[in-house]
A and B are shown apart, each in its own frame.
Chain A
């Protein structure tokens, strides 16, 4: 999916928002070389290409260098040097983000790749201290034998890191029942942008004082770098049942979602997958979705085995009360695993249909799903683009994926317009701009549709308290005051090293 660019590309908004590097990069590199061995200080342009963007590829830029600290002390030292030489720095996990949050235009990258240890697992108290570079899935695997897991499960969990999850306040299919990242972070060790190391939160519940953890989680790497993270571990459910409901219209599938929730059932997950996605998935990994249906709901109930039967049949009944074609339980664990693999790798599968994609992740009130989906398909026709929909329907968290080939004349403008139209729709029904992908660079220009200038100013003020000199991931998450430029993918190419 990721296109290798010869030249870095920045959208107009990124050009406006990300400040040029003014500091002394030469002296910074010299100082870094004094304590970082060459394999932990990447400076060659060829090697730096791997760090030009995240999974959102509109914005691509070459950083000054990429550092690989192995301890909190090293992170602090690197950050202090950046501060000394006035060079911005950008924290980076696995680079699976979808909003351009890690794009570093000539600035330094602090990679957490070597801060990847699980430091302490406290099974009796259901907590674990991890470094930020630990892969989400690795943590769940490490505690599975003890009957525990780390509940937030983004679709990229095979690759994404806990540090990145903290920065983005990541969600995932099972957050419907279990909550998002912020509900599972108990304490943080943070290197502030001036190099100071502070602790936030506590392993003990209801620690008095302000909720610093709450405001740090989701700050998109603009408040500092989390170097140790205390997560809550959740007991694995004793049993799980997965239900597959097949619909002949997307609207009816959306009605299925509201019917399930309206009946007082709280499934662990309700995912919707439309026809285009199912077809792509089937060609790619043969998960078992029918390719002639308009949409499928993947519903999971979990908990004590005693009432799984009840929960499962309640979901079946709810679906039957809507215009469902067929609805059934997954017959065994193998089928269940396959269906979920299909869901979680849907984005990858869609990548085989077109060389580029552009996805939004607006959240809407759940009762608005049927009408909003209908509108999205109208936008698809109007803008002559292809939009696939695969999303966390139970949360109302849309993921319309606009598929395109950037080489096609005029397509970028239509893709951009489709994205704008979808977000206008989300705003109109009282929704949120992003459910889990973050604002990064990509959605900056839309922030004013969702917040007033005074709200944004308050956010800037709090950020500036943590990050007074603005060196930590500048130009991300909150648009700067008094600027307004065109959102979405742009075409302008910049020279290497800008």
Chain B
């Protein structure tokens, strides 16, 4: 079957047939993260998985769900909420699909408390570059049957196969979700404060330091946010101890916290004309890697985002930062960029190292580079 413009297959088999045609393909879900990673090779036919949108199996008693790749996370969560369960991830973009979240290893503030989508993924069905459908893992919560090949798709930008279906383990929804907010004089002050919470006996699910440039969330200079989820006694305990740490404490609970969580999920788009860097290090070492003006720091995870103006010589300063980060055991990479800057040769999208094996994987899985060409630099 010839692929000319955007195709929207209705079944896995139809998609496999497209792949078997041998043409290069760009695969996407709702396209929310197309500005993430290197730009796709131009003039390549696109395939949209939006219509692979079934929840294939859901047995609440097992706390396991199987969904097609095109299911939007927001729709899945709504379905799970009916049984008081959820997939405990909160990556950016309300429209994001499960397949897209897997392909970009996308996560949000609650990553600190619950981990990434990798920690909940039980198995996949996927289509290889040869159009063959294979399975890995299963639908049970613990499984060492066969190698964990499904993990290879996480963060791979669809370059090692196209995930068509994925199974996840679920959690009961927390009784109360609360956000404690502390206005701070600077993002650095917020960072320091949250590191104290990180060291304490408290068990928050999110520790976010935000700079005042994020005007849709903050009206002051900076904000520290502590997310806490659980029962009333747990929320109260956090309130007591956080108040001792910082008296100017605000608390948002339940529905009142929702606008803040939603605003955090829109964060990535706040300054979209900029090149966004992701900076990662051990939580207590992150400060040494940070540029002067980080925008947003996930303190417990050790990840910061900084937005840089897309100047022509930007890649030089990014490279300098990346080299420094590498010597300190961390990394600096470009995460997203405006289309004009998405040139994959200039910005660093993947740090060096581990590359022979990674290149070997890519070569093995997609020797002709037909799957999402350009989207990875391997």
Contacts and interface: CB of A to CB of B under 8 A. Distances in A.
Given A204-B329, A366-B63, A455 B146 contact: yes
Interface in B67-109: 84-85, 105, 107
B146 A211 contact: no
A463 to B, nearest CB: 7
A10 interface: no
Interface stretch (B7-15, B129-137, B186-194, B261-269): B129-137
A395 B144 CA distance: 13
Given A209-B350, A465-B364, A218 B140 contact: no
A198 B357 contact: yes
Given A215-B148, A363-B140, A433-B145, A206 B107 contact: yes
Contacts of B62: 365-367, 396
A183 interface: yes
B41 to A, nearest CB: 19
Interface string A164-206: 0000110100010001101100000000000000111011111
B141 interface: yes
B118 A214 contact: yes
Interface size class for chain A? Answer: 35 or more
Interface string B136-176: 10111111111111011011100010000000000111000
Contacts of B250: none
A262 interface: yes
B267 to A, nearest CB: 16
Contact of B61 (A200, A258, A459): A258
A456 interface: yes
Contacts of B63: 261, 366
Given A124-B284, A206-B107, A218 B354 contact: no
B255 interface: no
A436 B141 CA distance: 11
A34 interface: no
A453 to B, nearest CB: 10
Given A215-B148, A365-B139, 15 more contacts: A208-B331, A208-B350, A214-B151, A218-B147, A264-B173, A311-B231, A364-B140, A432-B142, A435-B140, A439-B144, A439-B146, A459-B136, A459-B146, A462-B149, A478-B146
Contact of A214 (B132, B154, B236, B283): B154
A122 B172 CA distance: 32
B152 A397 contact: no
Interface in A304-339: 304, 306-307, 309-311
Contacts of A462: 147, 149, 152, 361, 364
A148 to B, nearest CB: 12
Interface of A: 122, 124-125, 127, 147, 168-169, 171, 175, 179-180, 182-183, 198-200, 202-212, 214-215, 217-219, 235, 238, 258, 261-262, 264-266, 303-304, 306-307, 309-311, 363-367, 392, 395-397, 430-439, 447, 450-452, 454-456, 458-459, 461-463, 465-466, 477-478
Contacts of A436: 142, 144
Contacts of B154: 211, 214
A481 B287 CA distance: 52
A262 B59 CA distance: 11
B116 interface: yes
B61 to A, nearest CB: 4
B282 interface: yes
Nearest to B174: A264
Given A210-B152, A396-B140, A434 B231 contact: no
Contacts of B172: 264-266
Contact of A209 (B138, B283, B302, B354): B354
A84 to B, nearest CB: 21
A397 B360 CA distance: 35
Given A125-B284, A204-B330, A218 B144 contact: yes
Contacts of B160: 210
B146 A447 contact: yes
16 contacts: A124-B284, A127-B282, A204-B280, A211-B155, A212-B354, A214-B151, A261-B61, A307-B233, A310-B231, A396-B140, A396-B142, A432-B143, A432-B145, A434-B144, A456-B146, A463-B147
B140 A215 contact: no
Given A258-B61, A366-B61, A168 B203 contact: no
B61 A203 contact: no
B234 A209 contact: no
B72 to A, nearest CB: 22
A359 B118 CA distance: 30
B148 A182 contact: yes
Contacts of B378: 209-210
Contact of B302 (A205, A214, A363, A392): A205
Interface string B266-309: 00000000000010111111000000000000000111000000
B119 interface: yes
Contacts of A171: 142
Contacts of A306: 231, 233-234, 236-237
B64 interface: yes
Interface size class for chain B? Answer: 35 or more
B246 interface: no
A478 B147 contact: yes
Contacts of A214: 118, 148, 151-152, 154
A124 to B, nearest CB: 5
A90 to B, nearest CB: 18
A218 B148 contact: yes
Given A261-B61, A367-B61, A432-B138, A215 B149 contact: yes
Contact of A395 (B141, B203, B232): B141
Contacts of B283: 124-125
A393 B364 CA distance: 39
Contacts of B231: 306-307, 310-311
A178 B144 CA distance: 17
B314 to A, nearest CB: 18
Contact of A438 (B128, B144, B329): B144
A451 B144 contact: no
Contact of A217 (B105, B148, B230, B351): B148
A83 to B, nearest CB: 17
Contacts of B111: 205
Contacts of A182: 148, 151
Given A125-B283, A366-B61, A462-B364, A206 B278 contact: yes
B282 A203 contact: yes
B199 interface: yes
Contacts of A210: 152, 155-156, 160, 358, 361-362, 378
Given A127-B282, A199-B354, A304-B234, A215 B151 contact: yes
Contact of A465 (B146, B284, B360): B360
A173 to B, nearest CB: 11
Give the most central of B138, B232, B356: most A CB within 10 Å.
B138
B357 A466 contact: yes
**4 nearest A-B residue pairs (beta carbon):** A214-B151, A264-B172, A204-B280, A306-B233
B140 A431 contact: yes
B349 to A, nearest CB: 7
Contact of B142 (A209, A266, A392, A455): A392
A307 B361 contact: no
A124 B285 CA distance: 10
B247 interface: no
Interface in B324-360: 329-331, 333, 349-351, 353-354, 356-358, 360
